[in-house]
Amino acid sequence: MMNEQLRKILQKQRYQIVGNHSGVKLCHWMRQKLLHNRPCYKERFYGISTHRCLQMTPTVDQCNQECLFCWRYHGEHELDRKAIDGPERILEEAIAAQRTLLTGFKGDDRCDINYWQEGQTPTQVAISLAGEPTIYPHLSDFMELCHGSGMTTFLVTNGTLPKALERLDTLPTQLYVTVAAPTEEVYRKLCLPHSSIAGWKNLKRTLELLPSLSTRTVIRHTLVEEWNLGNVEDYAKLDALAEPMFIEPKGYMFVGHSRQILSMRNMPKHDTINEFGSKLAELLGYEILDELPDSRVVLLGKDKSNMIIKS
């Protein structure tokens, strides 16, 4: 069971706690879409509907890393095996929590009422809010339930549990692996893996596993000025192991919990991200397919026709 102090901290940060270990929270871009018709970069790149995206996690208080750039609260690190919720409960209560969080927007004159009404029924689940979702033992069943309900799924993992990915009978619509370091030395200093995992070794195993998975794959490089920018050749070697459909070099944003650790100067400019992406694309035989300066992200790939997810 989640301890009460942590529950209060998360609720103060506008999380809706779901069951014993899951959570839902509206992202910045959900608000932007409802109030100003500004979609997130994932809508621009991949065609998902920002206002119909359920941002959630089945492990709101469990992670095996304490990345310095992470905007989430660093909670506990072990899942209580005696209090694991089933996927049906998590999905049902997560959608209900999303609706609760959306309630207040209806009274705002700026809110697009059509978007608000559509948002009551999510068509996309971003399993990425906090924690490491592959810790949840019923993740495959959860994604199967989402797909059976007509929703696409984006799963974001830090790649340190390759065996969990190997056990997935149902794969996400799109699988993200975060590669936030070009070398093991940088990884240990920036991502702070717990001693219970062979983090760097397991991350490389995950990258080697990706080409065999029958789903859309994305490598995410979260880039932090003065920490992990540069070393493009080393990033390229890691990306070559994974052979991803897409690569997203993305700048660190000075928000949330990370503000207690890093500073504004650690947030790279979009021009820096674009330059990094151009060099990486050249090394790998990719090209820049798109970019969104507001999110400080560029999209690399080989085929622009594959960007939009087909329903």
> Residue 265 is part of a domain; what is its CATH number?
3.20.20.70
Structural domain boundaries, residue 267: 4-306
pLDDT at 139: 97
What's the whole-model pTM score?
Answer: 0.94
Task: Confirm whether 311 is domain-assigned.
Answer: no
- The residue assigned the tokens 């309900």 is 149
For residue 5, the model assigns a pLDDT of 76
| pLDDT value, residue 156 | 97
Helix 232-242 × helix 199-209 angle, to 10°: 50
Contacts of 6-9 with C-beta under 8 Å, sequence gap 24+, read 6/61, 6/73, 6/75, 6/76, 9/73
Q: Let me know if residue 155 belongs to a domain.
A: yes
Instruction: Tell me which residue of 217, 240, 224, 311 sits closest to 276, measured CA to CA.
Output: 224
CA distance 309 to 155: 15
- pLDDT for 61 equals 84
What residues are paired with 153 via a beta bridge?
A: 125
**Res 214: pLDDT:** 96
Averages of pLDDT over each 10 residues, the chain, 311 residues:
76 87 93 96 96 95 88 64 90 97 93 96 94 95 98 97 97 98 95 87 97 98 93 97 98 76 87 97 98 95 94 67
Q: In this structure, which amino acid lies at residue 203? A: L
Q: Specify the pLDDT at position 144.
A: 98
pLDDT of residue 264: 85
Taking the C-alpha atoms of residue 221 and residue 219, their distance in angstroms, rounded to an integer, is: 7
Amino acid making up residue 217: T
Question: Token pair for residue 189?
Answer: 């200093």
Q: Give the model's pLDDT for residue 59.
A: 93
CA–CA dist 102, 105 (Å, integer)? 6
What is the domain count for the chain? 1
Q: What is the Cα–Cα distance from 305 to 175, expressed in whole angstroms?
A: 18
CA distance 105 to 148: 29
> In angstroms, rounded to a whole number, what is the distance separating the alpha carbons of residues 216 and 50?
19
Evaluate whether 175 touches 218 at the Cβ level (below 8 Å).
yes
In 146-213, DSSP assigns E strands to 152-157, 174-178
Q: Give domain status of residue 11, yes or no.
A: yes
CA 151, CA 145: separation in Å to the nearest integer?
9
Closest to 175 in 3D by CA, of 116, 215, 204, 138: 215
